Amino acid sequence: MKKQDSDLSSQRRLNFPLSTFNFPLYNLILAIGFVILSPRFAFDAITKGKYASGFRQRLGYLPAIVDESKLIIWLHCVSVGETNAAQPLVKKILAEFPQHQIVVSTTTRTGQNLARELFKSDAATVFYFPFDFKFAVRRVLKHIKPQAVLIMETEIWFNFLRECRKQNVKTALINGRLSPTSFRNYKLIRGFMSEVLTNLDLALMQSESDANRILQLGIAPGKVTVTGNVKFDLSFDANETDLTREFRERFEVKTPLIIAASTHEPEEKWIVEAFKRLRADFPNDKPRLLIAPRHPERFGAVENLLKNSGFSFAKRSGETAIHDKEAEIILLDSIGELKSVYSLAEIVFVGGSLMTKG
């Protein structure tokens, strides 16, 4: 009898409502983590400028929305990749729902800068996504009053989704993906994830694998649809843009150009070594190399690598100079310009393909 009582007690503990147990625990961990990491945040803000930008917005204090008469659709993009991918989606939404306006949020500073440039005529405002504290999330939702929130790829913030549900704001993952690494991590808290995902209204996933992974985390099957990758909807003009012509003229791109796009550490080192051998194999028609690091905070490190490579190099961000036309390697240390130079390349290498990136 005692054993049965023990088993029943265990079952009651396992069935204890996650919404009343795990969310307070999550908020406690979030607060403790923020306090512990605050010195690091402050150091990075002072030395690198990270986190300082938009700090008030991350606490929920947003600029006023000019036209309050229109309904609002909130689109969230984490960084540069998601922001670029969202371009056709924004155009489509505005065409299909002219009575609505779009606001765009990002997490990273580079994503913020790009969003302000890409959506300056389409978005009512561009701002930083709030920290996942309840007070910040509630303040933002009260200010914006969105009809729906569209989240590019997979930003699963527990308090945010829960507060959206409480305020009857529809939420959807767009271009959703779950890498094997992320999936393994989420599986460790599958019970909690199942509760969190009940707050999500729709999950439009990139592939069957992504759909299967999010289903295993406990989302209702009727909420999941495979739509493919919206990045394939991006249009690339076959004709040269003004930016393409600027590159061609400034760097005098006549010999074969190899582009190493969205590279990660230590791929640049490997690419430069391979480039040395390639130029030795083609002495009469030596190719040139353009490197575009994936993360802007690594521009400086890659520049230092090139300084010690033995090759002449030029930076996109540098002042135009005569030696730009002779530079053997070009460092594309800018945001949002990569697609304009693809048409100049003979060969394109896509970074992250030499290693496992989750």
Q: What is the pLDDT of residue 303?
A: 96
The more confidently predicted of residues 1 and 345 is 345
CATH number, domain with residue 340: 3.40.50.2000
User: What average pLDDT is seen over the chain?
Assistant: 87
CATH number, domain with residue 97: 3.40.50.11720
Tell whether 250 and 218 lie within a shared domain: no
* Residues contacting residue 230 through CB under 8 Å, at least 6 positions apart: 85, 86, 88, 89, 174, 175
Q: What is the pLDDT of residue 63?
A: 85
Segment 249-266 shows an average pLDDT of: 90
Kindly report whether the global pTM for this prediction surpasses the value 0.85.
no
**Would residue 16 count as lying in a domain?**
no
Least confident of 77-81, 93-97, 236-240: 236-240
Q: Which of 18, 33, 28 lies closest to 134, judged by CA?
A: 28
Least confident of 58-62, 189-193, 252-256, 275-279: 252-256
Tell whether 225 and 275 lie within a shared domain: no
* Predicted confidence (pLDDT) per residue in 126-161, tens digit: 999 999 999 999 999 999 999 999 999 988 999 999
Opening angle at CA 262, ends 258 and 265, nearest 5: 100
* Residues contacting residue 206 through CB under 8 Å, at least 6 positions apart: 175, 176, 177, 226, 227, 228, 229
**Would residue 195 count as lying in a domain?**
yes
Q: What is the pLDDT of residue 192?
A: 87
**Would residue 25 count as lying in a domain?**
no
Whether the pLDDT of residue 1 is over 90: the answer is: no
Least confident of 46-60, 167-181, 276-290: 46-60
Tell whether 312 and 165 lie within a shared domain: no
Catalytic residue among 68, 82, 155, 297: 82
Contact 349, 258 (CB under 8 A): yes
pLDDT category at 34 given cuts 50, 70, 90 is confident
Contact 86, 75 (CB under 8 A): yes
Tell whether 201 and 73 lie within a shared domain: yes
Whether the pLDDT of residue 18 is over 60: the answer is: no
Q: What is the pLDDT of residue 283?
A: 84
Contact 263, 293 (CB under 8 A): yes
> Can 153 be counted among the known catalytic residues?
no
What total of structural domains would you count in the chain?
A: 2
- Pull the structure tokens for residue 238: 């076959």
Burial label for 101, CB within 10 Å (0-12, 13-18, 19+), is buried
Tell whether 87 and 178 lie within a shared domain: yes
Pairing of strands 288-293, 313-315: unpaired
Q: What is the pLDDT of residue 357?
A: 60
If you compute the radius of gyration of the chain from its CA atoms, what whole number of angstroms results?
Answer: 24
Tell whether 152 and 296 lie within a shared domain: no
Q: Which of 235, 245, 270 lies closest to 92, judged by CA?
A: 235
CA dihedral over 146, 148, 154, 156, signed as positive or negative: positive
Segment 3-16 shows an average pLDDT of: 39
Whether the pLDDT of residue 276 is over 60: the answer is: yes
Tell whether 177 and 277 lie within a shared domain: no
Tell whether 78 and 183 lie within a shared domain: yes
* Predicted confidence (pLDDT) per residue in 283-305, tens digit: 888 899 999 998 888 999 999 99
Segment 253-276 shows an average pLDDT of: 92
Pairing of strands 288-293, 257-263: parallel
Q: What is the pLDDT of residue 4?
A: 41
The more confidently predicted of residues 286 and 53 is 286
Which percentage of the chain shows pLDDT scores above 90?
59
* Residues contacting residue 274 through CB under 8 Å, at least 6 positions apart: none
* Predicted confidence (pLDDT) per residue in 191-242, tens digit: 889 999 999 999 999 999 999 999 999 999 999 999 998 877 666 555 567 8
Q: What angle, 0 to 180 degrees and rounded to 10, lies between the N-to-C axes of helices 18-47 and 158-166?
A: 120
* Predicted confidence (pLDDT) per residue in 169-189, tens digit: 999 999 999 999 999 999 998
Please report how many Cα atoms fall inside a 13 Å half-sphere around the Cα of residue 120, on the Cβ side.
5
Whether the pLDDT of residue 15 is over 60: the answer is: no
Burial label for 319, CB within 10 Å (0-12, 13-18, 19+), is exposed
Structural domain span for residue 184: 53-233
Instruction: Look at the block and give the residue holding tokens 């939420």.
Output: 171
Tell whether 204 and 275 lie within a shared domain: no
- Residue 323's φ and ψ, nearest 5 degrees, are -70, -10
Cα–Cα distance measured from residue 140 to residue 163, given in angstroms and rounded to the nearest whole number: 11
pLDDT category at 11 given cuts 50, 70, 90 is very low
Tell whether 184 and 122 lie within a shared domain: yes
Cα–Cα distance measured from residue 22 to residue 334, given in angstroms and rounded to the nearest whole number: 42
**Would residue 12 count as lying in a domain?**
no
